[in-house]
Amino acid sequence: MPIAALKQSLARADLLLGSGRRRAWIAGGAAALALLFALGNASWKLGSGVSTAVCLPLAAVTVTVALRCAGVRWASVGLILAGLGVYVFYLSHTPYDLRNYDAPAHLKYVEHVLRHRALPAEGDCSICHHPPAWHILAAMVYGACEATGVVAPTKGLQLLSLVLWLCFLAMSALAIQRLLSRTYQQTLAMAFVVFWPYSIINSVRVNNDALMYALSAAVIHLLVRWYQQPRRRWMLAACACVVAALLTKASALSLVALVGVVLAMRVARSSGRRALLRECLPIVGGLLVVVAVFGTVRASRGKDLVRGTLGAAWRTQGIDMAERTARYYLTFDLPAQVRKPYADVGIGIREPTYWNHLFKSSLYGTGQGSGPVGVMVPSVKIARILNYLLPALTVVMAVGCALGRRDPRRRRLLCVAIAASFLTAGLAFHLMVPVSHHADFRFVMPVLLACSVLYAYAVEALRRRFAPSAILAALLAAGFLTLSVASFLWMSPRPQEPAPGSGMGLRPPLLFLLPKKSMELPPASSGR
């Protein structure tokens, strides 16, 4: 029995790893060896191939042992390691400013912190109004890379994003394990989180969303844990992560709302409501005090709280504004979903509805179709196929959850509340500043985490009703995720005039077989 043999092998691996302290020593030792080799290779100049061949296995050992120490199950560990391989391959072909339109501004912020040991003024760059937590951390990494020469400073920032992304995956895995009981459900949900197209893009993207997503997943995991076992320490840890997120990005205010929603849900189903409130209200009250201080400080940088918090995002001169109409916010144009492969923005260029932009940008972000001719983009043909499949996945999720039997522990309702909280926050932000790309990246990954769990619930509900439909739903998910990875392995240059229905080409050779000249990218100053 291959499965039984695999379980025995994994049990032996756990026995070999030993206790938590021994695992920590193994993970730390592997990480230290990788770092020492990288430092030595800065002088030895053995080449990137040798460095990758040595450091990547050591990194895999570190990640594996660290995940097992955190309590992540082997199935999720395997998916994360597979994802790590995809992310490293994507990193090897992706400069820091590709598919990352705010990268130069973030880099300017980081360099200002490093050179001047102070925060920049709001007007120094387009994102200099952001809180400084990630930028201070990035400045430390940037300075260390400059001092040691291990890697280029910008590549070091991409590696920092990769580490933070692995933290996001670890927290997501722990949350999924608590929300789903069957191993196949956990594996399915985790596969969505690891191999979603936007996950691959975000894994090495240089911006403060990397830390924001990691902290958001930590908050979700801790709130789920508190919801199931209402102990003071879980709520305290969740609120601490919310404070750290507020110091990273103002969109963390959505996490404050999520804490309130989960608290209300748990109090509503608790028999000892007074005791629960007596225990949690001081913690939540302290969080609200921090939020008030945060709002006061942010408001001091602008004319009012909203402008002070949004900073440059409030200044929309020259940007195509969406109309605040019921049709724009309450409808979904299915033909428009498949008409173009990517969500683009610009003067006179936008998706017809809010949900069209949100759906499409949740796959590859905004602006994939813009830029100089010849820039490598994820496969256009595959992007079109995924635009067809995403509404189908959504329908399967909705139908399966509606057919599911009663959930006494209300885990399904909790996932709906998590997704609804972030979607509401995104919608409110767009209503304040109705620019298309504001529906883009801020809340996509937490929503994906909740919806992945809901899809796994739906498959189980379909299996109980009619087993073949569950098999089809699982095959639909597998096909979607396979194409997601393939779109980054089999990339194509952006054509000169991407007309709808023109069948933009899927080029035969894989990206790593393309001649280097075809992969040359314009400099960051070219206005891509």
Give pLDDT, residue 372.
Answer: 54
- Over 80: is that where the pLDDT of 434 sits? no
Q: Rounded to whole angstroms, how far apart are CA atoms 142 and 333?
A: 44
Give pLDDT, residue 302.
Answer: 53
Confidence label for 404 from pLDDT (cuts 50, 70 and 90)? confident
Q: Rounded to whole angstroms, how far apart are CA atoms 188 and 195?
A: 11
Give pLDDT, residue 234.
Answer: 94
Q: For residue 343, list its beta bridge partners.
A: 366
User: Phi/psi zone of residue 466: left (φ > 0), alpha (ψ -120 to 50 degrees), beta?
Assistant: beta
| 364-381: b (≥16 Cβ within 10 Å) or e | bbbbbbbbeeebbbbbbb
Give the percent of the chain with pLDDT over 70: 78
Secondary structure tally for the chain: helices H, strands E: 21, 2
- Over 80: is that where the pLDDT of 193 sits? yes
Give pLDDT, residue 527.
Answer: 41
The HSE-up count of residue 390 (CA atoms within 13 Å, CB side) is: 25
Q: Nearest 5°: phi and psi at 36?
A: -65, -40
What separation in angstroms does the CA of 320 have from each of 323, 345, 436, 517?
10, 8, 8, 35
The HSE-up count of residue 90 (CA atoms within 13 Å, CB side) is: 31
- Over 60: is that where the pLDDT of 499 sits? no
Confidence label for 466 from pLDDT (cuts 50, 70 and 90)? confident
- Over 90: is that where the pLDDT of 76 sits? yes
- Over 90: is that where the pLDDT of 415 sits? yes
* Span 384-402, average pLDDT: 93
Give pLDDT, residue 438.
Answer: 64
Confidence label for 310 from pLDDT (cuts 50, 70 and 90)? low
Give pLDDT, residue 143.
Answer: 94
Residue 21 three-state SS: helix
- Choose the most confident range, by mean pLDDT, from 32-41, 305-314, 352-361, 509-518: 352-361
Closest to 226 measured CA to CA, from 175, 272, 275: 175
Q: What is the pLDDT of residues 45-60, one digit of tens each?
A: 676 677 777 788 888 8
Amino acid at 222: L
Confidence label for 364 from pLDDT (cuts 50, 70 and 90)? confident
Cβ-in-10-Å burial (0-12, 13-18, 19+) of 526 comes to exposed
Q: What is the pLDDT of residues 334-360, one digit of tens each?
A: 888 888 888 766 545 677 888 888 888
- Over 50: is that where the pLDDT of 517 sits? no
Give pLDDT, residue 214.
Answer: 96
Fill in the DSSP letter of residue 251. Answer: G
Q: Rounded to whole angstroms, how far apart are CA atoms 528 and 518?
A: 17
Q: For residue 376, list its beta bridge partners.
A: 493
Give the percent of the chain with pLDDT over 90: 42
141 and 157 Cβ atoms separated by less than 8 Å: yes
Summarize the chain as % helix, strand, coil (round to 5).
70, 0, 25
Whether this prediction's pTM lies above 0.95 is answered by no
Q: Rounded to whole angstroms, how far apart are CA atoms 188 and 392?
A: 16
Give pLDDT, residue 485.
Answer: 94
297 and 246 Cβ atoms separated by less than 8 Å: no
Mean pLDDT, rounded, of the chain? 82
State the DSSP H helix or E strand holding residue 493, giving kind and residue range, or none if neither: strand 492-493
Lookup result for tokens 């393939």: 486
Confidence label for 513 from pLDDT (cuts 50, 70 and 90)? very low
Q: Nearest 5°: phi and psi at 321?
A: -95, 140
β-pairing, 376-377 with 492-493?
antiparallel
Give pLDDT, residue 251.
Answer: 86
87 and 106 Cβ atoms separated by less than 8 Å: no
Tokens representing 366 are 């905004």
Q: How large is the C-alpha radius of gyration of the chain?
A: 23
- Over 80: is that where the pLDDT of 140 sits? yes
Q: Rounded to whole angstroms, how far apart are CA atoms 418 and 402?
A: 17
Of the two residues 53 and 183, the one the predictor is more confident about is 183
Within 238-381, strands assigned E span 376-377
- Over 80: is that where the pLDDT of 495 sits? no
Of the two residues 96 and 189, the one the predictor is more confident about is 189
Closest to 69 measured CA to CA, from 28, 9, 33, 32: 28
Q: Rounded to whole angstroms, how far apart are CA atoms 242 and 286?
A: 12
State the DSSP H helix or E strand holding residue 399, giving kind and residue range, or none if neither: helix 380-403
Confidence label for 497 from pLDDT (cuts 50, 70 and 90)? very low
430 and 314 Cβ atoms separated by less than 8 Å: no
Q: What is the pLDDT of residues 207-228, one digit of tens each?
A: 999 999 999 999 999 999 999 9
- Over 90: is that where the pLDDT of 7 sits? no
Q: Rounded to whole angstroms, how far apart are CA atoms 386 and 195?
A: 13
- Least reliable range by pLDDT among 2-11, 188-197, 238-247, 466-475: 2-11
Neighbours of 522 (CB within 10 A): 14
